[in-house]
Structure 1
Amino acid sequence: MVTFKDQLYAWRGVIFALFLRELQSKFNDKFGLGWAFLEPFVFILALSFFRSLLSPGDVHSVPLFIFMMIGLMGLQSLTTCLQSVSTSIRRNKPLYAFRQVQPLSAVLTAGFLEFFIKVVVVGLIAVALYLMGEDFAIHDPLLLIFLFLMLWAFSISIGLIFGIAAAFVPEVDKIKSMLTRPLMFISCVFFSLQDLPEKFWPYLTWNPLVHFNELARYACFESYGHKGVSLSFIIEVTVVFVFLSLAMYHITWKRVLSR
């Protein structure tokens, strides 16, 4: 008789094997993990330069490069995790012939891989900031870590919902692409919420990524403030989408295997 402990060991082995497979397929070129660092770093530098042309100097007491880094890392954490998780079910479909491998294992593996990559990239960017002389003390590191974990859980949940939907209606991938494109302009990446009049805030604060980015900047710099955003909103939205995605998976995962 197979015990629950044996099932956990088997599931851990499956996830680890899938993790190595995803890692090898994702970084099979000459740049490897270095490209995951160079791409956002160059992108942050370019956007910081263009942002400095509009308003040079700090952005509400936050150095411009760090301001752009937080916004872009939040955006890329969401979009890359969403893309990887939503396509993981389809990518690993041949492996479902083995009964130990289930779609949820592929989803969690893709999410863990993106989490691991972003942690490494953030660490490398922190080293680059130190070498550039942009050292600073984080005001609330626990809040920053909590926000990153919430964003990771939120991204996996959204990706799982899109992945399940795409298994039944492939055109959902096109809708996903359309929804993610404007995030750069409506998620307080290039600008601060405080740059806009308060009467326009309700048109942006429905977007959870605005709360993630603004609170992450506040967690690094207390002087930045957190007016207009709410930590409770992030927690509520994340819990709702985690529950919704798991409910959808529980109801449909057997039919997803047969698609």
Structure 2
Amino acid sequence: MAQVQRRSRLSIWKDVIFALFIRDLQSRFNDKFGISWAIIQPVTFIFILAFIRGLMNGGETHTMPTFVFMMYGIVSLQFFITTLSASSKALKKDKPLFAFRQVVPISSFIATALFEYIVKLVVIIVLVIIMWFLGIELVLKDPLMVIINFTLLWLLALSIGIIFAISTSFFPEVDKFREMAQRPMLFISAVFFSLQDVPQEYWVYLDWNPLLHAIELSRQAAYPSFGAVGVSQSYLYECTIVIFFLSLIIYKRYWKQAISV
């Protein structure tokens, strides 16, 4: 008589996340240009903005190659926005699957965000290869801090995405607010300009933005000569931790009502 193998909850959860990840992979890149476009879009955007910025400052911007300066800004911004957008839509996208008791919304959030993380890692690898072909020197004095800031940005986007996903389930209009709030991020997150280019009296209007801190601190970690000003590593940690635990509280309290609406 065959024995029924009992599986741990963690093992089941891991398999569910992997299955959702594969499902995202197949659905997002089911055409010829799917995965190529995920790479071509940010690379093209970086080249265009680096060219425009290069006309203003030449080959270097604050001791960094202009291409590298723009790379940190654009990749971080797109990583934040795509993770936030995908996470905020994960609940609605996978709602039919929640009929299976093994599938819970947190698995969908993690699988979706993990997918975005891996895609951006591929984009970064492609950009490094392009830099090598172009003869641009790659300097990375503190790679661990760059990875930490990149991961904090991912966790922050995922946390905000969970809050928006739960809120949108009860109030669909909230999603329109999210889309509106994302639009000015290019101009207020030190993507095209460094905070050093902004008069100090205006810093107070920009310093609340943790994305700005993550981008400037990553540039500083790669190029210590960059001389980042007006940003704080502790502020980035604090924002991420507070918003992360807030998202977990909201999820714990409302996820069952959210999937039954």
TM-score scaled by length of structure 2: 0.96
**Alpha-carbon shift at residue 131 of structure 1 (Å):** 1.1
Deviation at 1:203, TM superposition (A): 1.0
Once the two structures are superposed, the pairs formed by residues 42-191 of structure 1 within 5 Å of their partners are 42-191=44-193
Once the two structures are superposed, what CA deviation does each residue of 1:163-216 show, in whole Å capped at 9, x if it has no partner?
000000001110001100000000000101001121111111111111011001
1:56 deviates by 2.3
Q: Which residue in 1 is equivalent to 2:233?
A: 231
Q: Could you say what secondary structure the match of 2:46 adopts?
A: helix
Match of 2:214 among 187, 212, 215: 212
2:204 maps to 202
Amino acid at match of 2:87: V
Task: Please give the secondary structure, in 2, of the residue aligned with 1:163.
Answer: helix
Q: 1:110 deviation in Å?
A: 0.5
Which letter maps to 1:16? F
In the TM superposition, what is the alpha-carbon distance from 1:89 to its structure 2 partner?
A: 0.4
Counterpart Cα distance in 2 of 1:195 and 1:47: 16
Query: Is this contact kept in 2: 1:37–1:125, CA < 8 A?
Result: no
Bigger Cα displacement from structure 2, 8-17 vs 51-60: 51-60
Q: Distance in 2 between matches of 1:200 and 1:139?
A: 30
Contact 2:196/2:228, CA 8 A, preserved across alignment: no
Contact 1:215 1:229 in 2 (8 A): yes
Q: CA deviation at 1:124?
A: 1.1
CA shift, 1:136, in A, is 2.1
Aligned residues: 258
- The one-letter code matched in structure 1 to 2:33 is F
For the aligned residue pairs, the C-alpha RMSD in angstroms reads 1.4
Q: Which runs of 5+ in 2 are unaligned?
A: none
The 1:108–1:140 alpha-carbon spacing in structure 2 relative to 1, beyond 3 Å, is same
The percentage of aligned residue pairs carrying the same residue is: 45
Does the 8 Å CA contact 1:201/1:228 hold for their aligned counterparts?
A: yes
Q: How does 1:35-46 map to 2 (within 5 A)?
A: 35-46=37-48
1:142 Cα offset (Å): 0.7
1:14-40 alpha-carbon deviations (Å, 9 max, x no partner): 011100000101111102322211110
CA spacing shift, 1:6–1:142, aligned 2, 3 Å: same
For residue 135 of structure 1, report the CA deviation from its aligned partner: 2.3
Unaligned stretches of 5+ residues in structure 1: none
> 1:6: which partner in 2?
8
Match of 2:34 in 1: 32
Following the alignment from structure 1 to structure 2, what is the Cα–Cα distance between the partners of residues 229 and 257? 39
Tell me, yes or no, if the aligned pair for 2:91 and 2:259 is still in contact at 8 Å: no
Alignment-derived partner of residue 17 in structure 1: 19
User: Post-superposition shift, 1:219?
Assistant: 1.1
* 209-218 vs 54-63, greater mean Cα deviation: 54-63
Larger mean CA deviation between 33-42 and 81-90 belongs to 33-42
Q: 4+ residue stretches of structure 1 with deviation over 3 A? A: none
